[in-house]
Amino acid sequence: MLEAKKEVHEDESMTRRKILKAACCAGAVAAVSLTALKGKADAASETYPQVKVGNIKNLTAGKTLKFDYPLAGRKNVLVNMGCSVEGGEGPDKSIVAYSMFCTHLGCGVELDKESGMLVCECHQSVYDPKQSGKVVEGPAPSHLPMISLEIDKNGDIYAVGAAGLIYGLRNNLLDGEEVR
């Protein structure tokens, strides 16, 4: 009688294991599939506006320029770092732009001229604009979204996209008025 109970228990364990294993595999496949489909859908459906934000002639080393992009009220900062930087544009690869919304709680971010870092005014998260907006200190969970730039032959600087989700948005192009 004891052996019969043991066999039934082992059969149930195997069934539970098989079910759990199948569920985990199915979940993993679904997660990978949804992630791949989401990336394809976003890339296909998101078309960022091309917006002129300044000219190289007016953006000397260390100077900043604030602008809205991709939606009205979504503040960004354009900076000439004065040296070649990760993701930089222009003849010296020194011009970058970032969202001014901290990835921690959405407070404002400003360039600290002394350190050359972008610093959150609320909780002092510090981002390095020379390293693609990487978090170097503070509670921010991720880098600042970088605004993609293009510069034409006249030196006009255009915002043409955003790498990363801007704080507070489900999608960088929804729920707001597009900047033109």
Q: Of the residues 54, 99, 104, 133, which is catalytic?
A: 104
Q: How far is it, in rounded angstroms, from Cα 157 to Cα 97?
A: 11
Q: Of the residues 17, 38, 113, 123, which is catalytic?
A: 123
Specify whether 143 is catalytic. no
Active site residues: 104, 123
